[in-house]
Amino acid sequence: MVKSSVITGFLSQTKDRFHEYNKALTLEERFAMVAAMKDIDGVEVVYPYEVEDVATTRGLMEKYHLNWAAVNVNVKAEPEFRNGGLTSNDKAVRNKAVRFIKEAKDFATQVGANKVTCCPLGDGYEFYFQSDYARSWKYLVETLGEAGNHLKEIPLFIEYKPSETRGRCFVNSAAKTLCLLNDIGIGEMGVTIDFGHSMYGGETPAEAVSLVGESPHPMYIHINDNDGRWDWDFFVGSRNFLAYVEFLYYLQEYGYKDYITSDTSPTRWDIKRTFETNARVTNKLWTLLETLDREKFRKMIHGDDYLETWAYIEEKIFKM
């Protein structure tokens, strides 16, 4: 069975430009909801806005028998970060963004989490001649390198996204994230692959898994789905079923054993059942993929007769 977890911020009130969804819940209420979910026992929490007190957080984790998937550090919400935190022209602002990540690592150590993930959404641009691209890249190498070097036993994972909050994020693909980690040169740092970010960024998510899998860096996984035009955070398999199957197949090929974390926004749907759907569908597909004749399937994938491959998919995956 897959190790399934939830980003707990999605269990409370969320909002878009026009509406608010669901009611605000305390951290304890969110943890209690996760504990009641079938086949889910992990959490990813957002530092410092969702959790900050170590004793309280540890106590709630123990009370509800939950496990840590990751601590997610937010470096976009502060007013100073509107024009970029890690790549700000103001060194004091860059230092503050680095401090947030270091403090998230300190917090992870104190509560027993084994990784920190960060999606630098505020770092990017909208217009031509708005950014000095080379200097911004150097700032990313400098700031994330400093943050990653702090408590290297708690690895920092970089999550890429094509856009939001910026029109174009600097760290916007798996390949570019690997280039960044190569320039930083810290082997313990990793890549957070979000299925939806990969889809709407024009990647094939399974190929992103392969790129990271062939690199010296570890990966961590977020799951959801969308229509390829925006990061809607739908439940898995609802729009890109076969792409999700292939994504899981390659996670198995690369021996992925860590948590698969639901980064899904249940705006108009029952919260608990939405995340249980993610876990249920993922577990069913994971189990199904384990029944395949792997050697036979690999030979088909490596071969030139895709119609033969498709017939195998029809029979073994679609059960047609």
pLDDT digits (tens, 9 = 90+) for 67-99: 999 999 999 989 999 999 999 999 999 999 999
Question: Strand locations in the chain, DSSP E?
Answer: 4-7, 14-15, 20-21, 42-47, 67-73, 116-118, 124-125, 156-159, 168-169, 190-194, 219-223, 260-262
- Tell me what pLDDT residue 16 has: 87
Q: Residue 127's pLDDT band (boundaries 50, 70, 90)?
A: very high
The predicted-structure confidence for 148-192, as pLDDT tens digits, reads as follows: 999 999 999 999 999 999 999 999 999 999 999 999 999 999 999
Average pLDDT, integer, range 202-209: 98
Q: Which residues contact 250 (CB under 8 A, 6 or more apart)?
A: 206, 209, 210, 213
Residue type, 4: S
Of 243, 254, 162, 163, whose CA–CA distance to 217 is shortest? Answer: 254
Average pLDDT over residues 196-212: 98
Predicted TM-score of the model (pTM): 0.97
> What are the pLDDT digits (tens) for 35-72?
999 999 999 999 999 998 999 999 999 999 999 999 99
Average pLDDT over residues 253-260: 98
Domain 4-291 fold:
TIM Barrel (3.20.20)
- Chain position carrying tokens 């937010």: 74
Closest by Cα among 102, 43, 114, 101 to 73 = 101
**pLDDT of 17:** 85
Dig out the tokens for 134 from the structure: 């080379």
* CA angle at 113 for the pair 110 and 115, rounded to the nearest 5°: 120
> What is the average per-residue pLDDT within 308-319?
97
The answer to whether the CB of 116 falls within 8 A of the CB of 71 is yes
* pLDDT for residue 316 is more than 90: yes
